[in-house]
Amino acid sequence: MLKKSPLHAVHRALGARFVSHGGWEVPVNFGSVTAEHHAVRRDCGLFDVSWLTHLDIQGPDTRRFLLRLLANDIDRLDRPGKSLYTTMLNDDGGVMDDLIVHCLDYDRYRLII
């Protein structure tokens, strides 16, 4: 049995096409990719991250660690509540994955991977 996000019924009502991913039934699109693109550009879009991995990290060296791990400059997260879309880098500087980093406090962050 696949797990479903809290927004699953909303996605279904909006006509989402679902796929299995990592034990979850997740929406992959809502019909025409072009129509979806224009709808987001014209109005807005929502990406359901509730089924993704949430990793909280904290401590005195957290910012320094994240500055080395992530492609974008987390110094832009200058106060709690701010978020940044970025990529995680490997040892050679290549992209491993994309993620969202949330500043929870000045030495505490949540990565949505």
pLDDT, tens digit, 9 for 90 and up, residues 35-87: 999 999 999 988 888 889 999 999 999 999 999 899 999 999 999 999 999 99
pTM value is: 0.78
Give the span between the Cα atoms of 75 and 61, in whole angstroms.
13
Q: From edge to edge, which strands make up the β-sheet containing 108-112?
A: 54-58, 108-112, 95-105, 83-89
Q: From edge to edge, which strands make up the β-sheet containing 3-4?
A: 3-4, 24-29, 17-21
Structural domains of the chain in order of their starting residue, each with its CATH number = 3-42 (no CATH), 54-112 (3.30.70.1400)
Sign of CA dihedral 87, 71, 96, 59: negative
